[in-house]
Amino acid sequence: MTYPWLDAPAEAIAQTARDLLGWLVTAHGVTVRLTEVEAYSGLGEDPASHAHRGRTARNAAMFGPPGRLYLYRIYGMHSCVNVVCGPEGQASAVLLRAGQVVDGLALARTRRPAARSDHDLAAGPAKLVQVLALDASAYGTSVVDGTGPMTMAPPAAPVPAGLIEAGPRVGVTSAHEVPWRFWIRDDPTVSVYRRHVPRTRRRT
């Protein structure tokens, strides 16, 4: 199988993210059709990226090789997963924000018993990781050679361009206004947009 989004130049990462809409991601018995993604470039050109200050032990996977998973924790209790898409050495990745469970529905329900409906099972980046049962062991693993827990497959037909919308990114303190979040219009599994509001310290 060929993956046309691999080795995408950093400046093309937004188009790469758009192209991943509709792709199928499978892990641990559950398959999710991607309905929302978010692009991040590397180094100083994208201050919202985890890699904008350079390589660290935490973000090393973002620097490639492409086709690997960059998994990280948020708020100390949830995880998010990205697919590295840039040429090796140029940090860029696409955050998998939301999707529709299209296979393994019963299993997904057991992993997200608090979900209000099937549409809510993977309607957010942490929820998507939960239904796929990905953990820290997935960090840096490949989605293309079968050695990792997650695989990806293209849709039977690409999502029509007219159904794809773009808007500001979520949960970042810098460059949140950059319209690098992409989703399928009117899809009920797309997460609810909430603009990031910086926390203020209480005065004592």
- Residues paired with 100 in a beta bridge: 33
CA Rg, the chain, in Å? Answer: 16
| Residues above pLDDT 90, as percent of the chain | 58
pLDDT in tens, 101-117: 999 999 999 999 999 99
10-184: CATH topology is 3-methyladenine DNA Glycosylase; Chain A (3.10.300)
pLDDT digits (tens, 9 = 90+) for 40-66: 887 556 655 556 566 787 788 888 899
pLDDT, tens digit, for every residue of 128-168? 999 999 999 999 999 999 999 999 999 999 999 999 999 88
Pairwise CA distance, residues 123 & 58, whole Å: 25
Residue-range domain boundaries for the chain? 10-184
